[in-house]
């Protein structure tokens, strides 16, 4: 009935508030330096409520990571969709990632942090790794489509994907660390062109 509906909606809202409070705090103070209580306070709920929505602190990290990658991949898919040329496809792919992280510094930082957390429970580590694999796998698939003419091995393609993801997130996270602004024009334009400068001719 309607009552159940409303309850459901309220729960979903609470869960969402918890998730976004956690994301904000994790990226501002670091995952380890954010306590569950800080999260619940920021979300304006009782401490116990956290465990009604997430079985553990690790679980919310997983949730955030999963949702985050979903958003990233969706944005990429949207931008790449219905692009004819292979070359343009790759450019769009790169551009989409830059644009996404430009708007979502929080996810940039979260992804970076979590990548530095191997251990946790082995079980969790596995799960987290899967998310990054999903990212890389997506890129690899796109690259395969784009480069179908040139017969790269699967491994080569996967390395290309790593290079691409690594470049985007690595570059941006250095900018963040140094406190450099990247504002205006497409980040892609500025960054890649500059970076490539020194190695371009070599590959020609």
Partner DNA sequence: TATGAATGAGTGTTCATTCAT
Partner DNA sequence: AATGAATGAACACTCATTCAT
Residue numbers at the binding site for DNA (CB under 7 A): 3, 6-7, 10-11, 14, 33-37, 45-53, 55-58
- 47-68 b/e (C-beta count within 10 Å ≥ 16 → b): eebbeebbeebbebbbbbbeeb
3-state secondary structure 153-195: CHHHHHHHHHHHHHHHHHHHHHHHHHCCCCCCCCHHHHHHHHH
What does the per-residue mask of binding to a copy of itself show for 46-85, with x meaning CB under 8 A? ----------------------------------------
The site partner of 160 among DNA, a copy of itself, none (C-beta below 5 to 8 Å per kind) is: a copy of itself
Question: How far apart are alpha carbons 187 and 189 in whole angstroms?
Answer: 5
Count of positions on this chain that bind a copy of itself (CB under 8 A): 65
Q: Which of 91, 102, 106, 124 binds a copy of itself (CB under 8 A)?
A: 91
Q: How far is CA 170 from CA 3, 127, 162, in A?
A: 48, 22, 11
Cβ distance 85 to 175 under 8 Å?
A: no
Give Dmax over CA atoms of the chain in angstroms. 68
Smallest distance, Å, CB 65 to DNA?
A: 16
List the interface residues with a copy of itself, window 132-171 (CB under 8 A). Answer: 132-133, 136, 143, 146-147, 152, 155-156, 158-160, 162-171
Smallest distance, Å, CB 55 to DNA?
A: 7
Q: Which residues bind a copy of itself (CB under 8 A)?
A: 28-30, 32-33, 87, 90-91, 93-94, 109, 112-113, 115-120, 129, 132-133, 136, 143, 146-147, 152, 155-156, 158-160, 162-175, 177-178, 180, 182, 190-204
């Amino acid at each position: 009935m309607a009552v159940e509906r409303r309850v459901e909606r309220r729960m979903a809202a609470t869960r969402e508030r918890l998730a976004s409070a956690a994301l904000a705090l994790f990226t501002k103070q670091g995952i380890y330096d954010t306590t569950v209580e800080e999260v619940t306070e920021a979300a304006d709920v009782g401490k116990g409520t956290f465990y009604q929505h997430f079985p553990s602190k690790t679980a919310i990290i997983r949730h955030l990571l999963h949702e985050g990658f979903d958003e990233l991949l969706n944005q990429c898919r949207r931008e790449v969709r219905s692009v004819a040329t292979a070359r343009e496809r790759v450019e769009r792919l790169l551009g989409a990632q830059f644009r996404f992280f430009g708007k979502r510094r929080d996810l940039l930082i979260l992804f970076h942090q979590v990548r530095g957390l191997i251990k946790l429970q082995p079980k969790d580590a596995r799960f987290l790794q899967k998310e990054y694999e999903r990212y890389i796998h997506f890129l690899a698939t796109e690259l395969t489509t784009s480069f179908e003419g040139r017969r790269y091995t699967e491994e080569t393609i996967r390395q290309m994907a790593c290079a691409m993801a690594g470049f985007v997130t690595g570059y941006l996270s250095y900018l963040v660390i140094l406190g450099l602004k990247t504002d205006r024009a497409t980040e892609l334009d500025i960054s890649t062109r500059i970076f490539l400068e020194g190695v371009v001719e070599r590959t020609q």
